[in-house]
Amino acid sequence: QKEVEQDPGPLSVPEGAIVSLNCTYSNSAFQYFMWYRQYSRKGPELLMYTYSSGNKEDGRFTAQVDKSSKYISLFIRDSQPSDSATYLCAMNSNSGYALNFGKGTSLLVTP
């Protein structure tokens, strides 16, 4: 079993929809959680960074962490075609360690 599981999709939604992206993990030591967005042939771009459990909001993006369930989510409100990309969840147990990535979910927002 991989330490981080993420449905690769693809996920297709109409413009304006609320998008929900999720990851589960097995290592209870993970406490730093990140979401990255990656456009084709580009490096990942940090979207959200969360420490431990709870919610964090930044504009149209909301990250949730439920450590008791080992489950993290990223919500995108009022999705736009420019949000079409692959979204990678990542996490580690120590901020100095390398990140453990999910496979990434491919999102397509159609006009």
Partner 1 sequence: GAVVSQHPSRVICKSGTSVKIECRSLDFQATTMFWYRQFPKQSLMLMATSNEGSKATYEQGVEKDKFLINHASLTLSTLTVTSAHPEDSSFYICSARTRGGLVVADTQYFGPGTRLTVL
Number of H helices, E strands in the chain: 0, 11
Query: Tokens at residue 110, please?
Result: 């159609």
Among 23, 72, 74, 88, the residue binding partner 1 under the rule CB under 8 A is 88
- Compute the least distance from the CB of residue 24 to partner 1, in Å: 15
User: Considering the rule CB under 8 A, would residue 55 count as an interface residue with partner 1?
Assistant: no
Under 8 Å between Cβ of 102 and 76: no
Q: Between residues 96 and 111, which has the closer beta carbon with respect to partner 1?
A: 96
Q: Which residue from 63, 57, 56 is spatially nearest to 22, judged by alpha carbons?
A: 63
Q: Between residues 6 and 79, which has the closer beta carbon with respect to partner 1?
A: 6
User: Considering the rule CB under 8 A, would residue 46 count as an interface residue with partner 1?
Assistant: yes
**Segment interacting with partner 1 (CB under 8 A) among 16-24, 44-52, 53-61, 76-84:** 44-52
User: Considering the rule CB under 8 A, would residue 98 count as an interface residue with partner 1?
Assistant: yes
Tell me the C-alpha to C-alpha distance, in Å, between residue 90 and each of 7, 14, 55. 14, 26, 16
Binding residues for partner 1, rule CB under 8 A, total 20
For residue 59, is it left (φ>0), alpha (ψ between -120 and 50) or beta? left
Question: Binding residues for partner 1, per CB under 8 A?
Answer: 8, 32, 34, 36, 41-46, 49, 88, 95-96, 98-99, 101-104
